[in-house]
A and B are shown apart, each in its own frame.
Chain A
Amino acid sequence: MNTFTAALWTETLKARRSLVPLLTAIGFSLAAVVDGLFMIILKDPEAAKQMGLISTKAQLMAGVADWPTFFNILGQAVAVGGAIVFAVITAWVFGREFSDRTVKEWLALPASRSTIMSAKFVVVAAWTMGLSLWVFGLGLFIGRLVNIPGWSLDLLRSSSVDVLGAAVLTILLLPFVALAASLGRGYLPAFGWAILTVAFAQIAAVMGWGDWFPWAVPALFSGAAGPRAGLLGAHSYLVVFGACVLSLMATYLWWQKADQTR
C-alpha cells in the first residue's frame, strides 16, 4: 500500500466514523425536498394562498409547477446551498485536525504532508460530488412523485449540466475554504470565509460583474439569473479555474512552510 492510498484510507475512515456525512446529506437533501414542496404549492394556487409566507416565497422564486422550474430551483439550491454545505465539509476535513489537536500526529511521518493534503482534497471532492449526485437523484425522484409536467430527455440532459456543472464549479472553489481552515487553524475562519464569499457573490451579481467574481459564477451557471450564455464567458470559467489552482498552491505551500505550534 503506498502512502497516498494509506492517507486516502485514513481520511475515508475518519469521515465514515463521523456524523458529518449524515448531517450534511440530510441538510443538502432539503434542497430537493423544499423544491418538491414549492411544486406542490404552485400546483394548487388556492392552497398556496392559504399557506402564508412560504407560498409567497414560492411564487417569488418560481411561478409555475413544471420540470424546467423544478430543475432551475434545484440548480440554484445546489449552487448557493452547496457553497455553504460543501464549505462545512471542507472546514471539517481540514479544520478538525486543529480542533482535535491531531495535526501534530501526522507532521513527522513517512507519509508526506502533501500526500495527506492530497488525500483530504480527494475525499472532499468525492464527498461533495457524491452529495450533488445524491441531491440530483433525489430531485428526480421527488419531481416524479409530485407529478409535474414538462419532462423530456433533452431537459434532463441540459438540467444535469446546469445542476452538476454548478456543483463542479462550487467544488473548484473549495480549496480556498481549506486554506482558510489551515490559516485560521480551525473551523470558524473557514465558515466565516464561506459566508463572506456567498454574500459578496450576491453583491457582485447585482452589480453586474458576477462573471468576473469566481464565487458568483456557479449560481450564474445554474441559470439562477437567466440563461448562462448571456451572463458568463470563457473568462468566467478561467477565473474559477485560476482561483482553484491559486488556492491549491497556497494551501500546499502553507503546509510545507508554516510553523505548527498546536
Chain B
Amino acid sequence: MKYVIETNQLSKSFGPVQAVNGLNLRVGAGEIYGFLGLNGAGKTTTIRMLLGMIAPSVGSVRVLNQAVGPNGRGPWARVGHLVESPAAYPDLSTRENLEIARRLHGLTDANVVSRVIEQLSLTPYADRKAGTLSMGNLQRLGLARALLHRPELLILDEPANGLDPAGVVEIRELLAGLAREGVTILMSSHILTEVDRLATRIGIIHQGRLIEELDAATMEELRAQRLLVQARDLPAAQAALTAAGYSVEKERASQALVLKDARAIEAPEEVATVLVGAGTPPTHLAVEQENLEEHFLRLTGVLQ
C-alpha cells in the first residue's frame, strides 16, 4: 500500500534528549490522522521532520511518495502546513502575507488569495496589518496560507489553537469538508475532543514513542465503559452492591458509585433491582463511556 506519509524508525535526539524514538508512522490517502501527545512528547519535532525542517538523527521520511530532505527537498507544492503558533510579517497586511505565499508557491491565479480569504472568513481583516490581528485571526491566516494552493496533504500542528468556540467548529467543518474532497490531513492537537470528533485514526505519542494507534472502530472498543450510580444513602448503596458481588468504587468528584464490571454495564437493571431491594433506590443510573481524553491520560500515565 502506498502511504501519503511514511516514516521508518524515525528518531531525533538533541544532545542527550531523545525527542523522537523509532517512530513508524503510516498515514493513508484520505485519512484524518490525529496526532496526540503531552507537551514535549515529540509531536512538533515529528511534524518538523515530516516537513524537512529538522533532519532525522536516524530513520527516514517519505511524503507523497517522495523522500524528504536533505536540503529541504520535498513535494511542497502539494503540501500545506501550519507549524506551532502561526506567524506573519507584522508590517504586511493579511492579503500581502498571502500574496507572498501565492508567489512563492508559483501560483499564477491571483484570485486564489481572495478565495482563501473568504474561505477562512478573513475578509474584514484582509487589509489590516498582520501585527494587529488577534491570535484567532492569525491562526486563520496561517490556515489560509496552508490551504492557498489546494494541497493534497495538510500537516497541521494545533489547528484550533487560539480560536474561539465558534471558530473551532468552523475550522472543524472546514477540515471535514476538505477530507471529504480527498485531502489527507495529519493534525496534532491538545484539544483532544477535537481530534476525537474529526480523526479517522489516532496516534498517541509519548516520550518520543508512538505508544498506540487507534482506528475509529478500535477507539470504540478500547474505551472503557462504566456504570455510574447515585443514591440518597450512598454508603448503604455501596454496601448493598458489594454484598451482591459487584466491585464498587466511590468517585469523590461526582459523589457517585462507579461499577466497571461487565455484569453491571451489560445489565444495569439488575443493579437497580439490588438497590431497590436494599431500600436505597438509585436516583441516577447511567452507563458512561470514557472519553478519549481519559483514555489518553491513562495511557500516558497522567491518570492511574
Contact = CB atoms under 8 A, between A and B. Distances in A.
Interface of A: 1-3, 6-7, 9-10, 13-14, 17-18, 100-102, 104-113, 116, 256-257, 259-261
Interface stretch (B2-10, B48-56, B161-169, B195-203): B48-56
A100 to B, nearest CB: 6
Contacts of A2: 106
Contacts of A7: 104
B53 A1 contact: no
Contact of A105 (B91, B106, B145): B145
Interface string B62-88: 000000001110101101010111011
A13, A105, A110, A116 — most chain B CB neighbours (10 Å): A105
Contacts of B90: 100
12 contacts: A1-B108, A6-B106, A10-B100, A17-B91, A17-B96, A104-B53, A105-B101, A108-B51, A108-B52, A108-B53, A257-B55, A261-B53
Given A110-B105, A111-B106, A101 B76 contact: no
Given A104-B84, A261-B48, A18 B103 contact: no
SS class, residues of chain B in contact with chain A: loop
A202 to B, nearest CB: 36
Given A100-B87, A256-B72, A10 B54 contact: no
Contacts of A17: 89, 91-92, 96
Given A105-B101, A108-B53, A259-B55, 19 more contacts: A1-B106, A2-B106, A3-B106, A17-B92, A17-B96, A100-B87, A100-B88, A101-B85, A105-B145, A106-B104, A107-B51, A109-B105, A110-B105, A110-B106, A113-B71, A256-B70, A257-B70, A260-B48, A261-B54
Nearest to B99: A13
B53 A260 contact: yes
Nearest to A115: B104
B89 to A, nearest CB: 6
Contacts of B48: 259-261
A116 B76 CA distance: 15
Contacts of B71: 112-113, 256-257
Contacts of A106: 104
A144 to B, nearest CB: 37
Nearest to B71: A256
A1, A2, A116 — most chain B CB neighbours (10 Å): A1
Which 3 pairs from chain A and chain B are nearest by CB? A6-B103, A101-B87, A17-B91
A198 B91 CA distance: 31
A105 B83 CA distance: 8
A108 B104 contact: no
A14 B104 CA distance: 14
Contact of A109 (B76, B85, B88): B76
Contacts of A257: 55, 70-71
A14 B74 contact: no
A113 B108 CA distance: 21
A99 to B, nearest CB: 10
A102 B71 CA distance: 19
B78 to A, nearest CB: 9
Given A1-B103, A1-B106, A17-B96, A105 B72 contact: no
Nearest to A96: B89
Given A14-B89, A18-B91, A112-B72, A107 B52 contact: yes
A259 B53 contact: yes
A147 B81 CA distance: 61
Given A6-B104, A9-B103, A108 B54 contact: no
Given A10-B100, A14-B92, A259-B53, A105 B87 contact: yes
Contacts of B88: 100, 102, 105
B151 to A, nearest CB: 11
Nearest to B51: A108
A110 B84 contact: no
B160 to A, nearest CB: 19
Contacts of A109: 76, 101, 104-105
B53 A107 contact: yes
B92 A108 contact: no
Nearest to B68: A108
